[in-house]
């Protein structure tokens, strides 16, 4: 039954992405790939805003930290598609909430919308299927070693491999996430954003406190260890995070949708009020 519900929610999400495509102008009009790229930009910004709203209190020294690169491009601000993007984001959050924590949603869509038929052209990307990622996660989690609290992926794509590990770890021991550190690296900024969204959306939707998440947009072979490679990073507060999500409803996501249908400036004003 749950699979049927999730499938309907996935269809709704993809339908809303098509509406984003219909809102675009010029050669991108009705392009699902352009709509998907714009959605990822938008969702990245809104997920960042939502996490900060729920976890960062500048008047309280509780260890909460949020850092992001200043020169991240916000192309959606000029698109004029805020309303349909907000609807798509709300559909995505409904899907995340209905799914198991750390379910991989974007890898399949990334393959479908962006990589099909390219045969490795461009950055030569081939993303790991989510079922294989989960199997690898099961094989990795063989004991209660310290390694279970430190996860990193140097070519993360949309986060599939580590999402599989995190999914298995959460099933096994949800409390372990309070001390867990997760690190992603990829040369593709779009992939970095996708991975970050998937992890943090699950954290928000399922009220999961996680110690630290860091994402590096860099070439791991030539730029490892060099300054300025951190794209976004967060550390949860020492207190239990305050969440606006109540059991049995999605009021938090209705609020997110309302915020998403405003400009970034108005979103920040609303979050601060």
Dist. CA 229–CA 224, nearest whole Å: 8
Looking up tokens 């309280």 gives 60
Count of positions (residues) in the chain:
273
pTM reported for the whole predicted model: 0.80
Burial class (CB in 10 A: 0-12, 13-18, 19+), 205: buried
How sure is the predictor about 110, in pLDDT bands with cuts at 50, 70 and 90? Answer: confident
Q: What is the pLDDT of residue 257?
A: 55
Residue 98: closest CA among 261, 273, 248, 224: 248
Amino acid 248: pLDDT: 44
Tokens 């949800």 belong to 174
Where does 206-260 have alpha helices with state H?
A: 251-260
CA-CA distance, 44 to 28, in Å (whole number)? 21
Asked if pLDDT for residue 116 goes beyond 60, the answer is yes
**What is the pLDDT, as a whole number, of residue 1?**
43
Per-residue pLDDT tens for 20-63? 999 988 878 778 999 999 999 999 999 999 999 999 988 888 88
How far apart are alpha carbons 119 and 48 in whole angstroms?
33
Strands of the sheet with 212-217, listed across from one edge: 65-68, 230-235, 212-217, 181-186, 150-153
pLDDT at position 240, please? Answer: 52
The reported pLDDT for the residue numbered 62 is: 86
pLDDT for 258: 58
Tell which wins on pLDDT, 267 or 220. Answer: 220
Task: Report the pLDDT value the prediction gives residue 143, as an integer from 0 to 100.
Answer: 58
Q: What are residue 210's phi and psi, to 5 degrees?
A: -125, 140
| Cβ neighbours for 122, distance < 8 A, ≥ 6 positions apart | none
Q: Among 16-30, 146-160, 232-246, where is mean pLDDT lowest?
A: 232-246
Q: Which tokens sit at 31?
A: 């392009």
């Amino acid at each position: 039954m749950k699979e049927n519900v999730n499938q309907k929610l996935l269809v709704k999400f993809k339908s809303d992405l098509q509406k984003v495509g219909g809102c675009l102008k010029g050669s991108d009009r009705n392009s699902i790939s352009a709509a998907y790229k714009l959605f990822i930009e938008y969702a990245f910004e809104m997920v960042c805003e939502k996490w900060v709203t729920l976890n960062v209190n500048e008047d309280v020294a509780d260890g909460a930290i949020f850092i992001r690169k200043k020169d991240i491009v916000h192309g959606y601000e000029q698109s004029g598609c805020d309303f349909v993007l907000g609807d798509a984001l709300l559909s995505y959050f409904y899907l995340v909430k209905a799914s198991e924590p750390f379910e991989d949603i974007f890898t399949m869509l990334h393959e479908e919308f962006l990589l099909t038929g390219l045969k490795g052209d461009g950055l030569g990307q081939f993303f790991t299927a989510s079922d294989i990622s989960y199997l690898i996660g099961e094989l990795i989690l063989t004991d209660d070693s310290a390694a279970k609290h430190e996860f990193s992926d140097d070519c993360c794509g949309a986060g599939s491999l580590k999402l599989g590990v995190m999914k298995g770890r959460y099933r096994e021991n949800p409390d372990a996430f309070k001390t867990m550190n997760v690190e992603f690296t990829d040369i593709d900024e779009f992939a970095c954003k996708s991975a970050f969204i998937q992890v943090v959306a699950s954290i928000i939707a399922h009220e999961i406190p996680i110690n630290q998440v860091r994402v590096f947009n860099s070439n791991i072979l030539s730029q490892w260890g060099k300054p300025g490679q951190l794209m976004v990073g967060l550390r949860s507060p020492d207190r239990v995070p305050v969440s606006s999500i109540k059991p049995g409803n999605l009021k938090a996501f209705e609020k997110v949708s309302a915020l998403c249908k405003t400009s970034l400036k108005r979103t920040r004003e609303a979050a601060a009020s």
